[in-house]
Amino acid sequence: MSADLKPTFDKIFSKIDELKPEFIDMLAKAIAIPAVSSDESLRPKVVEKAHFLADHLKKLGFQDIQLKELGTQPPPVQDPNLQLPPIVLARYGNDPAKKTLLVYGHYDVQPAQLEDGWDSEPFELVVDEKKQLMRGRGSTDDTGPLTGWLHVVQAHQAAGVELPVNLVTCFEGMEESGSLGLDVLITEQKDKYFKGVDAVCISDNYWLGTRKPVLTYGLRGCNYYQITIEGPGADLHSGIFGGIIAEPMIDLVQVLSTLVDSQGNILIKGIEEMVAKETEKEQALYKDIDFSVEELNAASGSETALYQKKEDILKHRWRYPSLSVHGVEGAFYGQGAKTVIPAKVVGKFSIRTVPDIDSGKLDKLVIDHCNEAFKKLNSPNKCKAELIHDGAYWVSDPFNAQFQAAAKATKDVYGVEPDFTREGGSIPITLTFEEQLKTSVLLLPMGRGDDGAHSINEKLDISNFVNGMKTMAAYLHYYGQSPEK
């Protein structure tokens, strides 16, 4: 720890420890708002959460708080007048002698229901003192880290320590649905609200494993598709119509089976040829990273890993594309036995993209493949394959001022040098911030690799919540002191 910063850090860290109950209470209130962006019926709740955050920012003394409206959500939507949730912009400090840091987070969350297999109501934060963790939808993705930034400001105030940088917030409510509208807003505001931003920090990812903190310098992209197959004019009784009409569900299963095999190999021709070749320098990065197949099994809650070697696991998580089938809309999925033939079904799948996959070329390959696979069925039903949303992959420089400041902060808090990693997930606007604001982006994770961000029983370890805030605070000071931007 830097000798001149130790007294400062002692004060701030002490206040974070002292205010922990208050911080957890605020997180519980935020999580209680079911801000599921993909559920049109819950859109009012997403907007409610935006106002909840704006009110809290006001209490902390943030200025120029704006809820930027993004207009109508584009198709496919059930309600053609559905409004996108607002972006929450705010400022804290406007000192020209200080660097200005934009902190990004998202306040929307993935869908969650108790009947999915949760141990408790997903929108009620459970503090498990025995396991020292907090369970609830959004605890780690991304409500916990987002509120962490606000708690860091409060801890500085309580400790009587001046914030070492100017802060600008950009909190969105559509990240789990492709960050619709955010790209346009960043472009519109790059010389307005975001003018003068020196760097961007995002806390919306996770440690690689469960033991060692990381800093992330790369992300895969994500192209999300759907296949719609429709035939009968209404759902039908299989006892009357089974075997004498073409069933959309059967066609859909056939088409989906042509996309990927059980070993994770993508079966769509032309994708593998676009992937950047591995270099010797890149190969060397995997050698010292702390990770094992046991940690992968622990994170998945199973022993279903396709690879046993650390290097193979990480390469397929970071630098190779993957295709996942996510679900079917319109089909019967409840308990019991319902002998219905769905009239229309929609299959959802995504491809995680990597350098040097061209998104437009990928879309053509995918859609042409689906159309050709359906054509081979000789079905009288109708089929439509389409892109729903996409987000580009991103790679940065792990040796710039931001990353070095974060590395020092991580070592001060956790006592170890962080691993520098890439990540398999996607944050679509990372590249947009970098390109439009002409600045660097840092991914500073709070949670662990076993948090279950999009799964049941999503959690955040209390130690990660507390130490994550301490790392954020220390990072602000190291970055504020750094000679570079």
**Residues assigned a catalytic role:** 108, 175
Q: Is the dihedral of CA 159, 163, 168, 173 positive or negative?
A: negative
CA 349-453-66 angle, 5° bins: 95
Spatial distance between the Cα atoms of 156 and 473, rounded to a whole number of angstroms: 8
CA 201-207-213 angle, 5° bins: 85
SS3 of residue 380 by DSSP: coil
Spatial distance between the Cα atoms of 385 and 369, rounded to a whole number of angstroms: 9
| Integer Rg of the chain from CA | 23
Spatial distance between the Cα atoms of 385 and 356, rounded to a whole number of angstroms: 24
Spatial distance between the Cα atoms of 178 and 224, rounded to a whole number of angstroms: 9
CA 65-67-433 angle, 5° bins: 90
One DSSP character per residue, 162-204 reads: --SSEEEEEEES-GGGT-TTHHHHHHHHTTTTTTT--EEEE--
Q: Are 414 and 213 in contact (CB under 8 A)?
A: yes
Stretch (H or E) spanning 430: helix 430-437
Spatial distance between the Cα atoms of 204 and 430, rounded to a whole number of angstroms: 11
**Based on the number of CB atoms within 10 Å of its own CB, is 100 exposed (0-12), middle (13-18) or buried (19 or more)?**
buried
Spatial distance between the Cα atoms of 375 and 238, rounded to a whole number of angstroms: 24
Query: Residue 142, preceding bond cis, omega within 30 degrees?
Result: yes
Spatial distance between the Cα atoms of 484 and 442, rounded to a whole number of angstroms: 14
